Structures are given as C-alpha cells and as structure tokens.
C-alpha cells in the first residue's frame, strides 16, 4: 500500500494540516466510494493522510456502493476495519443501537463549522461519526419560461399555487417527476410535511412517535392535494424514473423539478444552459415554522471493534477540516457541497445557491430524506403509500390506516 500512496502523492489534495504526534501501526479503511470520481477522492484522502504520517501503514479497501449496504453489518462484527463510509441519521441508528459504532463526541469539540449538521450525527446526545459531503434539494425551474409567463420565484405556498395555475393555463405541467422507483414521492412528502408542521414534527413522525392518522399528517396531505387536484404534476409519472421525467422539463412541457443538485449535470448535458434554469428554496406553507431542508449527508464512522482507534480519530478530524472539504467537494472531485461552513465552494451558480441555503437559511434543521430518516421497512411501505396517494388521492384514508398499522408493528420491533 505504501508504494501506491507514494505514486498518488503527486496528485493528491495538499491540506497544510499537521499533527503534533505522528501515527504508526496499521489502519484499515473500508469505503463504498466505488464510482470513479469518488474513488479518486478516497484514494487522495488516504494518500494525503499517509504523507502526514509516514510510519502509518494504511490499507484501503473499496467495495461496491450498493453491495456495501448488505455487507456492512457483517463487516462490523466479523472483522471490523478502523474507518468506514456510511450515512447519517436513521441509517446509522441500527449500528449505534447495536453497539457497533464508536462514540466520537470528544472529536466534535475540536471541530469547527459543523454545527448545522450536528443533529444528524447525534443519538442519545452523543455523536457517532463525522460528515464529509452533502447535497441540497430544492426546486430547479425553467427561468426562461417563468420570464415568458411573467412569473417570479415564490416565497409562499399561495404564490406557488398562483404560479402553478398560470403554468397550467399555458398548457404545461408545473412539475416534472418520475415516481416509478418511489423515492421522489418521498421528497415531496418531506417538504410538504416540514413546511406544514415543521422539522421537529417531521422527525417525530420518522421516529415513530406520531400516528400517521394524526390530523397534522392529514393537513400535510391536504396541502399536497391542492397541487394534485389542479393537475400540477406530470401525468403518468408513476411510469417514469426521475431520469425519464427529465426530458419533459428540458423540452418545456414541465417547468420545475423538486430534486437534488445531482440533477443539474444531466440538465446541462441535455442542452439546457444556466440562463434557462435557476433554483429556489421550497416556499413557506405555515408562517413562523423554521424551514428544514433535505440534504442527505455521507459520513465516516469508527467501528467499536476497530484496532487502531487513535489513527481513526485523527483521520476523522482530518476529513472534516475546511480546506479538505473544499478540495474533495470540488467540481472535478465529488461535485457536491462541503459540510464545513468555513469551506469554500466551486464557482458554480447552483452549488453556491445550495451552500448559501443550507448554511444560512435552513433554520429548522437538516433532514436526511425520507428513505434515510425512516427505518428501512417503514420507508419502503411509506413510499409505496405516497406514490399511491399521488395517483389516487381519494385512497388517503386507506393509505393512512395501512401506514399506521405498519408503524405500530415496525417500531414495536
């Protein structure tokens, strides 16, 4: 491994970070950053850290991202590495509760700039990992069509509905969406619920503390139905993946897409210019409720069975520094957002908008997206119900009864 690190050193991310006590021994990292660009970032991180600690032998094992989801528990119990990649919030919950993740709360006292996401790494008032990247969600829209129709970015739900009516009257759908794989419907529920009832209520629902038949949940669906009933969404969206729905926005048949920043590159590749697309934060529904945002966070953790926890802790501190996060999230690397508020962002319109929103305007909190905040089985059942509601809104009572029965069974386990 040392020869590999030496070969990589010339092209790695130089951070200027130094440690008073050089590390030694062996450190093993298992990473699911298997796609080419993320893999290069991970290899660069390891190389840089190795250059700072030449007596530390680092073994990096890169595993398939999807396959890792089914392998992680066995890896944590059979032969724990010293550092792993995973996700924040409920996705880390089962491993925290099983005693498989190390408490790293002491590190957070040495790290600055991560206050906005601390809650996503906290269970039982302790922190169980550190973040290294995230990406924002919001409404990406056709700025040129808005200009053609005389529309401005809405700040309230009433303005959103008024804009939507003008768009429908022009013969277009307000929103492109593909719900064939369900999770995009989860994004809409997240925002409708956080804007109707607030971030804290949304988290209580995710944690099984609120009944799905609660009137406040019904209020969320009532607001959502206002858009469904007026024909705001792309017809037959249940037949499209999110990528298959994108051409409707590209060709102007739909004017906006509630989606993550990862959709910007495909929009550009399809021919839309930055003069044609823009971004705005999901509008306010209930006045006085701080605005929470979906921003899924990728994380590093130390298994409780790690053999070199000293080196692992220094690695976690290293990856959270502002300059390291700036480098690894650059457009030619991960192309996402640094979590450290002191980092800088590439000169990209949409990355800067997302960073500004998450750093300064996500006053309610940072949610991890429906299928990360809810337990896996509840998320699966829930997203099926959300898609059904979008297609058959009259089925709401039956849907909520099913989800409540699932809640009682799943959380009791």
Residue listed under structure tokens 């530390």: 56
The total number of structural domains that make up the chain:
2
> 305 and 195, same structural domain?
no
> 217 and 71, same structural domain?
no
> 374 and 316, same structural domain?
no
The two structure tokens encoding residue 355 = 């960073």
> 128 and 153, same structural domain?
no
Q: Do 248 and 173 touch, CB atoms closer than 8 A?
A: yes
> 392 and 265, same structural domain?
yes
Q: Which residues contact 95 (CB under 8 A, 6 or more apart)?
A: 72, 73, 76, 86, 101, 301
Q: Which domain holds residue 12?
A: 2-134+297-343
Q: Which residues contact 346 (CB under 8 A, 6 or more apart)?
A: 329, 330, 331, 335
Q: What are 66-97's pLDDT values in tens digits?
A: 788 889 999 999 999 999 999 998 889 899 99
Burial class (CB in 10 A: 0-12, 13-18, 19+), 97: exposed
Q: Which of 209, 186, 101 is nearest to 368 (CA)?
A: 186
Q: Does 159 reside within a domain?
A: yes
State the pLDDT at residue 21: 65
pTM: 0.84
Q: What are 351-381's pLDDT values in tens digits?
A: 999 999 998 888 888 899 999 899 889 999 9
Cα–Cα distance list, 89 to 80, 149, 337, 339, 393 (Å): 21, 41, 18, 15, 30
Q: Following CA atoms 61, 65, 67, 73 in sequence, which dihedral angle do they give, to the nearest 10 degrees?
A: 70
State the pLDDT at residue 10: 35
**Which value, in Å, is the radius of gyration of the alpha carbons in the chain?**
22
Q: Which residues share a beta bridge with 337?
A: 134
> 335 and 233, same structural domain?
no
Q: Does 320 reside within a domain?
A: yes
Q: Does 147 reside within a domain?
A: yes
Confidence of residue 117 (pLDDT cuts 50, 70, 90): confident
Q: What are 171-186's pLDDT values in tens digits?
A: 999 999 999 999 999 9
CATH code (residue 43): 3.40.190.10
> 129 and 234, same structural domain?
no
pLDDT (mean) for 22-40: 92
State the pLDDT at residue 238: 97
Q: Rounded to an integer, what distance in angstroms lies between the CA atom of residue 88 and that of residue 117?
A: 9
State the pLDDT at residue 347: 85
> 156 and 240, same structural domain?
yes
pLDDT (mean) for 242-267: 95
Instruction: Check pLDDT > 90 for residue 282.
Output: yes
> 219 and 90, same structural domain?
no
Mean confidence (pLDDT) of the chain = 92
Cα–Cα distance list, 4 to 29, 202, 333 (Å): 15, 46, 20
Q: What are 300-346's pLDDT values in tens digits?
A: 999 999 999 999 999 999 999 999 999 999 888 888 999 998 999 98
Q: What are 144-157's pLDDT values in tens digits?
A: 999 999 999 999 99
């Amino acid at each position: 491994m040392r020869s590999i690190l030496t070969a990589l050193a010339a092209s790695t991310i130089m951070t200027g970070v130094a440690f008073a006590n050089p590390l030694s021994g062996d450190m093993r990292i298992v990473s699911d950053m298997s796609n080419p660009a993320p893999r290069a970032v991970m290899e660069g991180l390891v190389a840089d850290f190795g250059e700072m600690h030449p007596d530390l032998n680092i073994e990096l094992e890169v595993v398939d991202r999807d396959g890792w989801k089914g392998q992680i528990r066995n890896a944590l119990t059979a032969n724990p590495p010293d550092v792993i990649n995973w996700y924040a919030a409920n996705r880390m919950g089962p491993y925290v509760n099983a005693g498989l993740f190390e408490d790293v709360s002491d590190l957070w006292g040495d790290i600055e700039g991560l206050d906005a996401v601390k809650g996503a790494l906290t269970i039982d008032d302790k922190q169980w990992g550190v973040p290294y990247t995230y990406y924002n969600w919001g409404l990406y829209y056709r700025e040129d069509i808005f200009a053609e129709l005389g529309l401005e970015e809405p700040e309230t739900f009433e303005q959103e509905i008024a804009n939507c009516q003008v768009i429908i009257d022009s013969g277009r759908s307000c929103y492109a969406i593909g719900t064939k794989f369900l999770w995009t419907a989860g994004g809409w529920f997240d925002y409708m619920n956080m804007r109707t009832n607030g971030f804290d209520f949304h988290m209580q629902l995710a944690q099984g503390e609120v009944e799905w038949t609660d009137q406040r949940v019904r209020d969320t669906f009532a607001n959502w139905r206002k858009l469904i009933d007026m024909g705001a969404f792309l017809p037959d969206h249940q037949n499209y993946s999110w990528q298959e729905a994108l051409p409707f926005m590209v060709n102007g048949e739909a004017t906006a897409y509630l989606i993550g920043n990862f959709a910007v590159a495909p929009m550009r590749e399809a021919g839309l210019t930055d003069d044609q697309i823009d971004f705005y934060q999901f509008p306010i529904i209930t006045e006085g409720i701080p605005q929470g945002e979906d921003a899924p966070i990728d994380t590093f953790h130390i298994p409780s069975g790690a053999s070199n926890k000293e080196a692992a802790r220094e690695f976690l501190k290293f990856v959270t520094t502002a300059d390291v996060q700036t480098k690894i999230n650059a457009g030619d690397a991960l192309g996402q957002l640094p979590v450290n508020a002191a980092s800088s962002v590439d000169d990209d319109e949409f990355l800067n908008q997302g960073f500004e929103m998450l750093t300064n305007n996500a006053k309610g909190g940072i949610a991890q997206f429906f299928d990360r905040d809810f337990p896996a089985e509840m998320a699966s059942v829930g997203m099926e119900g959300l898609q059904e509601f979008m297609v058959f809104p009259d089925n709401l009572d039956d849907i909520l009864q099913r989800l409540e029965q699932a809640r009682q069974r799943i959380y009791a386990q």
